[in-house]
Amino acid sequence: MSKEDQATNYSSYLLLEKILNAQEPRSQDNPDGAEHDELLFIIIHQVFELWFKQLLHELDFVCKQLHTGDLGRTLHVLKRVRNIIKVMVSQVDVIETMTPQDFSAFRSRLDSASGLQSVQFREIEFALGYKRESVLSRYSPDSKEFASLKTRLKNPSLWDAFLNFVAGRGYSVPKEMLATVSQSEIVASDPIVKILEEIYHTDPKLTQLCESLIDLDEGIQEWRYRHVKMVQRTIGMKQGTGGSEGANYLMASLDKPIFPDLWQVRMSL
Ligand code: HEM
C-alpha cells in the first residue's frame, strides 16, 4: 500500500464514499430512467437532517455553557444557531424550483414517508422546550427513535437551562420551576414575565441573551412559514404522505411560539 493510500485525505476524512452513495431515487427503475427532480428532493432532505444534527450538537453545548455560567460563549453559540436556521430557511428557495408536476411524477414512490417522522426535528423541538409526549406515539416503544425522544423529554430543555441561569444571577425564579423538568410545552407565567421585564429594564447583558432566544424562536417560525408555503405551492391542499391533512395541519403550528414569556413581556415594555 502506498503512503498516499494510507494517509487521511479529503475523501476519507469526510467519508465521501458513504455520503455520495447514499442517494437512491426510487424512480430509477422507471423504464426511462429516474425522475430528474427526485435526486434534489433526497439531497435537500439529507442536507436538512445534517443541519438538524449540527443544531442539536450546538443546543446541547449552549445548555452546558449556561450551566457553567459562561454568558459570552452562550451568546456566541446562539449566534451560530441562528445563522444555521437562516441557512435552512433560505434553502427552501432551492426545493421551490420543483414544480407540482415534477413532484407528482415521483411522489407515490415515497409511500408513507414524510418529514412528520423526522426524529431530529422533534428532538430540536424538545431540546428547545416545545415538548409534547404525544409525539412519541409515532414511534415503536422499542425503537432507537423512541428512546432518543424519551431522553430529550426527561432532560432539561434550553428554557430550563435559561431559567436556572437567570436564577443564578439573583432573580427570584419560583423554586418549583427550577426543581422540576417540564415535560410539556412552555406556558407563559406571570412571575417569569415580571423577571423578564426587570431584565429588559435593568440588565443589558441578560437582555442580549433574551434577544438571542427570541431570534431563535422567530427563526423556527420562519422555517415553519416557508415550509407550509412550499407545501401549498407544490401539492396545494392535498393530504400529506404522512397521513395528515397536509397544509391545513401545518398551518395550525404557524405562529406557535416556543418561548411564550419572551413574546408576552413585549406587551409591558
Ligand atoms: C416539496 C417538498 C415538501 C413537501 C411537499 C412537504 C410536505 C409536507 C407535508 C404535507 C407535511 C405534513 C405531514 C404529512 O406528511 O402528512 C410535512 C411535514 C414536515 N416536513 Fe415537509 N415537505 C417538503 C419538504 C420538506 C423538507 C425539505 C423538509 C426538511 C427536513 C421537511 C420537513 C418536514 C417536517 C419536519 C415536517 C413535520 C412538521 C410538523 O409536524 O410540525 N419537509 N411536509
15 within some domain:
no
Mean pLDDT of 183-202: 98
Helix ranges, 105-258 (H): 119-128, 144-154, 158-168, 175-179, 190-202, 204-235, 247-251
Per-residue pLDDT reduced to its tens digit, 213-260:
999 999 999 999 999 999 999 999 999 999 999 999 999 999 899 999
Mean pLDDT of 70-89: 98
214 within some domain:
yes
108 within some domain:
no
CA 258 – ligand 1 centroid, Å: 19
72 within some domain:
yes
Q: Which of 39, 227, 244 to mutate to test the pocket of ligand 1 (most atoms within 8 A of CB)?
A: 227
Q: Which of 231, 239, 241, 244 to mutate to test the pocket of ligand 1 (most atoms within 8 A of CB)?
A: 231
28 within some domain:
no
Cell numbers 427563526 label which residue?
219
Number of domains in the chain: 1
Give me the pLDDT at residue 2, please.
67
- In angstroms, the CA 131 to CA 154 distance is 10
Evaluate if pTM is beyond 0.85. yes
Give me the pLDDT at residue 14, please.
98
51 within some domain:
yes
4 within some domain:
no
Residue 103 CB less than 6 A away from ligand 1: yes
- In angstroms, the CA 29 to CA 119 distance is 29
List the domain range (segments joined by +) for residue 68. 35-101+115-237+245-268
CATH number assigned to the domain comprising residue 150:
1.20.58.480
List own/partner pairs for 115-121 with CB under 8 A and 24 or more apart: 115/45, 115/242, 116/240, 116/242, 116/243, 116/244, 117/242, 118/49, 118/52, 119/145, 119/148, 119/149, 120/49, 120/52, 120/53, 120/56, 121/52
62 within some domain:
yes
Residue 51 CB less than 6 A away from ligand 1: no
Number of C-beta neighbours around residue 155 at 10 A: 15
Lowest mean pLDDT among 1-5, 37-41, 128-132: 1-5
Give me the pLDDT at residue 255, please.
84
